Each structure stands twice: as structure tokens, then as C-alpha cells.
Copies of this chain bind each other. A is one copy, B any other.
Amino acid sequence: MTEHSLWRFSRAIHHALNERQTDQLEDMLDDNVDWAIYGPIDMFAFLGARRGKKAVIDVIKQIADAVSVHRFDRESIMLGEDTAASLMRYSITPAKATTPISVRLAHFAQFKAGRLISLRAVMDTFDLVEQTLGRQIHLPKIA
């Protein structure tokens, strides 16, 4: 049985984030990869949509400069033939901060011929913002 593309992709992306070695990741990205991590781009310019291998490699380098990843736990996972979805919990430290923060992220990935063609990620971004600021944002009670 062939290893699922998700595992190769996961190793490649964490290798790129932790060691700043992007060669494995480049091999795993489709030339026209469609990429989006939804979130506040004013605070984190590496969030938002990217198109194509070069743009994704650039954004991974930006993320590697901006945060240190300490660990991640996969809380849920689903694998299809060429698809994968995970619910992950990351422990990271933003470059300008000293205390680690914890971020929950859900991603949906599609592969074709062993290469990533689409990634969509959703995070609990309000929690991310508050943890990054190190303080609570006052919110009115709506419901």
C-alpha cells in the first residue's frame, strides 16, 4: 500500500517550517496549487489566498520567519484516495512574542498525482488574535 500523500506533505511542510528547507515541499506542490488560510491579513500577512507553487513557497518562508512551531496534535483526521482533512492543534510562538500560543486549525487538502492542488484552512482566528495580543478584546454580548 502506498503511503498517503498527506503524510509526505505533512513532513515536507514541517521540514520547511522548522528547518527552512523547502525542496521537499516544492516537489509536493502542483504548479497551480490553490491555497487559502482564512484569517486577518492585516495582522498576519501570510494569511489569505495564494496561487501557484512559487507563491506558496514564499508564504511558507514568511510563516517560518514569523512563528516557531513547537508541536502539533492531530485531533481528527479523514483520508480519501486523493483528499485529506484534519483538525489540528498547534503550539507556536510568534517571532515577536515569548510565550507560546495554541491554535486550532482545520484543513482540507486535495492531491493529484501525489501533489497538492488545493488547500483550505480555517482557524479559530479570534482566539489567535487575543492570544497574540496577550489581552482580551471586549465584545458585546449578542446572544
Contacts and interface: CB of A to CB of B under 8 A. Distances in A.
Interface in A86-137: 87, 94-96, 104-106, 108, 120, 122-129, 132-133, 137
A9 interface: no
Tallying the copies of this chain within the complex gives 2
Interface size class of A (residues with CB under 8 A): 35 or more
Interface of A: 38-40, 42-46, 62, 65-67, 75-76, 78, 80, 83-85, 87, 94-96, 104-106, 108, 120, 122-129, 132-133, 137, 139-143
Contacts of A44: 142-143
A122 B122 contact: yes
B140 A43 contact: yes
